[in-house]
Structure 1
Amino acid sequence: MIRNIKVFDCTLREVGYQTGWHFDEEFYHTVYKYALGKYIDYIELGFFHNEQADTNRGLGRYCSLRNNELREIFSNIKNVTKISAMRDIQRPLAPLLSRTESIVDAVRILTRSHETDFNVLGRHIEEIMSLGYETFVNFTSSGYNTIDKNQAFVKFIKEQGVDVVYFADTESVMTIDYVVDTINMCKAEGIKVGMHFHNKTGMAEILTDTAIRENVDFIDATHLGLGGKWRDGNLTFDYLLSKMGTVGGFEATHLKNEMIEQIIKYNTYSCAE
């Protein structure tokens, strides 16, 4: 934790769109050790996709199916920084392992605002919580939502016993007022709130300032702000850490250089559009 905000490093998941989730073992180690050294709370590997429906991707695309390989990578270095992955419930999925069997500590359910079926979402929440995972729900493509729609979503999530709801600015359309109203609404409902800012319009830093001022509980970033299916980018770690009164140092420079080398090496696997 940095001050009172918990941080997700989404670099592996987001930059995975540029590399097909192919990364060298050394790079996994670099990302994790950096996060550990900077007291970053989570690193996010990728997804739990079905391999037959989405072939020829790296380990982070199929976390539950590649658990043994991922465990070998992280077992000797894993410490207090937790490992997460996304459960995209509107796409073909692989079965989940129990938390005790998995290298993954936290599951973030991805549900698109316009595709969300509360009955389906509720079943996934129940399954993931019963398997022992720390559980988050990420409401994506939420920037166009009315506050009433977001409030209905938050009330449902709270009823399911989930402690944290995330709002993702998938289309880069959130405004300052939207961020203020959404965070305050979640606080009024008694549920913790996270924000994931894309940066197509260059607003990620301004919206981050707003979220911090409004006491957001969780926030996401990537190194160099890279990543995304549409190459639309994310909040940069350099900016987030500077707001929290710390700097990346040489380790951040090393990581960023190594990341660029990974993108060059695995560019032929890119699934970014």
Structure 2
Amino acid sequence: MPDVEITDSHCHLDFPELAGELDDVLARARAAGVTRMVTICTKLHNEPAVRALSEAHAPVFYAAGTHPMSVADEPMATFEDLVALADHPKCVGIGETGLDYHYTSESACAQQQSLRTHIAAARETGLPLIIHARDADDDMARILAEEHARGTYSCVMHCFSSGAGLAQVAVDLGFYLSMSGIAAFPRSSDLREIFAAAPVERILLETDAPYLAPPPYRGKRNEPAFTVHTGQVGAEVFGMDWPAFAAQTQENFARLFSKVPAFEAAT
């Protein structure tokens, strides 16, 4: 095991691109120093399978919600549904939820309703909200702020690739920004500047595997082991050496996803 340990805070281990060789994927993650993964259930009818995956593998935790691109095709998640899921000891987040106007703008109203329901569940359970945002910065900033004024909750802007304005709103609300492989792409200098302006205490790492592999694997299937490559770019962004930056992201993850270290300490 490498001396540097990190967490892939957002991946999709149940997706067919990874599920068929999951044991090997987890072994490669372990060899790369990725000691924990949060796998995300994007459709609630898949939650039993994702839950079982987390139960079968000690390093794997999970979160559950309805992805905004699926809102129009799935039954609307209820507050009660989401709160009940949070009882499981390895369910550590609510979502991913959010707004995606790039591909599914026709369901914007339903997406906003779903987002507010997920926020209410995050507020009730104390679990962090996991946000997907694409081409919806204004509505996203408005809803996050409106709901935060009604009652505080914690949140991570997963795979953050939106504008500086939304990043500032998120930081001002006490939320976290997660770096994916996009932040490591050569042409993502503007995005790296947005991250560099944020407090390093609010930064997480993720793959969003099987998507968005960082260089040198760009264009190939992503997997949790590749978190290291994004993390090393993140260290450069913040002017830190790699072990120090990795340790900081571990501290950040444990602070936001507090149910994870509590579970680990009890087992």
Residue 104 of structure 2 corresponds to which residue in structure 1? none
Q: Deviations over 1:113-168 (max 9, x none)?
A: 432544432223334554x46121414214x634xx44312313413422225165
TM-score under structure 2 length normalisation: 0.56
Structure 2 contact 97–115 (Cα < 8 Å) conserved = no
Query: Which of 115, 118, 121 is residue 115 of structure 2 equivalent to?
Result: 121
Write the distance in 2 (CA, Å) between the matches of 1:160 and 1:101.
24
Write the distance in 2 (CA, Å) between the matches of 1:7 and 1:209.
23
Give the 3 Å change call, closer, same or farther, for CA 213–186 of structure 1 in structure 2.
same
Structure 2 contact 95–130 (Cα < 8 Å) conserved = yes
In angstroms, what is the RMSD of aligned CA positions? 4.2
**Unpaired segments ≥5 residues, structure 1:** 1-5, 37-41, 52-61, 248-273
Residue 246 of structure 1 corresponds to which residue in structure 2? 242
Write the distance in 2 (CA, Å) between the matches of 1:133 and 1:24.
30
Q: Deviations over 1:42-92 (max 9, x none)?
A: 6221315255xxxxxxxxxx3434424531322xxx5xxx83435224423
TM-score under structure 1 length normalisation: 0.55
Give the 3 Å change call, closer, same or farther, for CA 129–83 of structure 1 in structure 2.
farther
Q: Deviations over 1:1-31 (max 9, x none)?
A: xxxxx96443x42x76561643423533553
Write the distance in 2 (CA, Å) between the matches of 1:66 and 1:16.
6
Structure 2 contact 67–98 (Cα < 8 Å) conserved = yes
Residue 131 of structure 2 corresponds to which residue in structure 1? 138
Structure 1 contact 110–138 (Cα < 8 Å) conserved = yes
Residues 80-91 of structure 1 correspond to what in structure 2 (within 5 A)? 83-90=61-68, 91=70
Secondary structure in 2 matching 1:88: coil
Determine what percentage of the aligned residue pairs are the same residue.
Answer: 7
Secondary structure in 1 matching 2:166: helix
Q: How many pairs align? A: 206
Give the 3 Å change call, closer, same or farther, for CA 161–208 of structure 1 in structure 2.
same
Structure 1 contact 197–204 (Cα < 8 Å) conserved = no
Residue 109 of structure 1 corresponds to which residue in structure 2? 96
Give the 3 Å change call, closer, same or farther, for CA 32–84 of structure 1 in structure 2.
farther
Deviation at 1:211, TM superposition (A): 0.7
Secondary structure in 1 matching 2:48: coil
Give the 3 Å change call, closer, same or farther, for CA 45–133 of structure 1 in structure 2.
farther
Query: Which of 157, 174, 180 is residue 166 of structure 1 equivalent to?
Result: 157
Write the distance in 2 (CA, Å) between the matches of 1:43 and 1:63.
16
Give the partner amino acid of 2:242: T
Write the distance in 2 (CA, Å) between the matches of 1:128 and 1:185.
18
Give the partner amino acid of 2:175: K
Query: Which of 31, 48, 73 is residue 57 of structure 2 equivalent to?
Result: 73
**Unpaired segments ≥5 residues, structure 2:** 1-5, 102-107, 214-218, 244-267
Deviation at 1:199, TM superposition (A): 3.1
Write the distance in 2 (CA, Å) between the matches of 1:85 and 1:72.
15
Write the distance in 2 (CA, Å) between the matches of 1:31 and 1:215.
27
Residue 19 of structure 1 corresponds to which residue in structure 2? 17
Secondary structure in 2 matching 1:162: coil
Give the partner amino acid of 1:245: D
